[in-house]
Structure 1
């Protein structure tokens, strides 16, 4: 049985994990400090879960949104990035910041995450450059508000940049070109919606 989401009450919080009571059954999931800081005992929440099964254990990782969960999985495509390293990156960078760092080749952004050295930061950028951002299990990402969390982390993306990159890729631009243009459009002040980002990105690509 693979668990993909939990809805219940926060029964207890640890340094790196949360216990969620779902109809009398307690589920323990590892979580980053960004999520743990937003939870309180007794909260009614929904968390997205990535389940990892080995011969000796079943481990669950909890996230505020499916976008964070998707990036957690994508980051581990990079050799040398394991579960805890991916959590550390997501503690230091929001999904939109991860996309910006990859598009701009900014390995230093990843080095700022706990336990990520210069070589691994460079490897992350190299391995993920030019690849389309991950998508949710069932299409569009769910927002933190829909998950029962009162506020999203500052600067968190809920999908517009990913959709804008996808739209540009469908127009014939490479994922790398699309990502750089969307990042540039966002930094030039394009509104955080798909239409505005695509229009701004097309202007960048035409320069």
Structure 2
């Protein structure tokens, strides 16, 4: 299985890119946001999700391992295939996706290509009850460490969710409160401010 490609961008199409790795060209399908970051002739590293079928091997490329993991995770929901999962990630980067899950924001999912009202409702409901995607999110000493990303943002938001859970609030409610509280700030807020705002959300 191919986990990543590190090479040169040989061509970019409407929904694919050709990545030249030491003289071998790999055709990679990707979302518009990912393709938009690629420049012809420039070096590129893409994290790859490999789909093997009887009649074809398809490579899907992402700018980060987190996006690749979410791509695989989204397809655990009935009705979500590769095309729809790409559409969701094109409309919603991982941090926005995590907030939409925490808030059960059906409207946010419905803005993605290929997602109708029924599927949006299913995504908002079923993803809330699932553990987060699994992938290789940290690199230490040249080795990747496999971890599971819970549906909450990293850094201050993760710290705020953890603090609320330590106070006896369940994980889902804590993530929802922190996601709602984060919308009150124009930029990323430090954990103490997020915690205070999230506690007000919980008490409402």
Q: Distance in 2 between matches of 1:87 and 1:161?
A: 27
- Out of 83-92 and 176-185, give the one that drifted further: 176-185
Q: Deviation string for 1:161-192 (max 9, x for gaps)?
A: 77347635863532311211220231122735
Q: Distance in 2 between matches of 1:158 and 1:128?
A: 15
TM-score, scaled to structure 1: 0.79
Tell me which residue corresponds to 1:159: 154
Query: Against the structure 1 CA distance between its residues 194 and 130, is the aligned structure 2 distance closer, same or farther, given a 3 Å change threshold?
Result: farther
Counterpart pick for 1:183 among 169, 174, 179: 179
Aligned length: 190
Q: Quick check: which has more Rg, 1 or 2?
A: 2
Aligned partner of residue 25 in structure 2, secondary structure: strand
Q: Deviation string for 1:48-71 (max 9, x for gaps)?
A: 111111222211100111111111
Tell me which residue corresponds to 2:10: 11
**Are 1:71 and 2:70 an aligned pair?**
yes
Q: Distance in 1 between matches of 2:16 and 2:192?
A: 38
Tell me which residue corresponds to 1:106: 105
Shift of 1:43: 1.2
Shift of 1:99: 1.6
Query: Against the structure 1 CA distance between its residues 169 and 46, is the aligned structure 2 distance closer, same or farther, given a 3 Å change threshold?
Result: farther
- Out of 184-193 and 173-182, give the one that drifted further: 184-193
Native 8 Å contact 1:78 1:127 kept in 2: yes
**Are 1:173 and 2:172 an aligned pair?**
no
Native 8 Å contact 2:156 2:191 kept in 1: yes
What pairs with 1:26-65 in structure 2 (closer than 5 Å)? 26-65=25-64
Counterpart pick for 2:136 among 138, 155, 161: 138
Listed as ranges, the gaps of 5+ residues in structure 2 are: 140-151
Native 8 Å contact 2:79 2:119 kept in 1: yes
Shift of 1:128: 0.7
Listed as ranges, the gaps of 5+ residues in structure 1 are: 142-156
Tell me which residue corresponds to 2:94: 95
Higher relative contact order (CA 8 A, sep 6+): 1
Aligned partner of residue 12 in structure 1, secondary structure: strand
Structure showing the higher strand proportion among its residues: 2
Native 8 Å contact 2:33 2:90 kept in 1: yes
Q: Distance in 2 between matches of 1:68 and 1:48?
A: 9
Native 8 Å contact 1:131 1:175 kept in 2: no
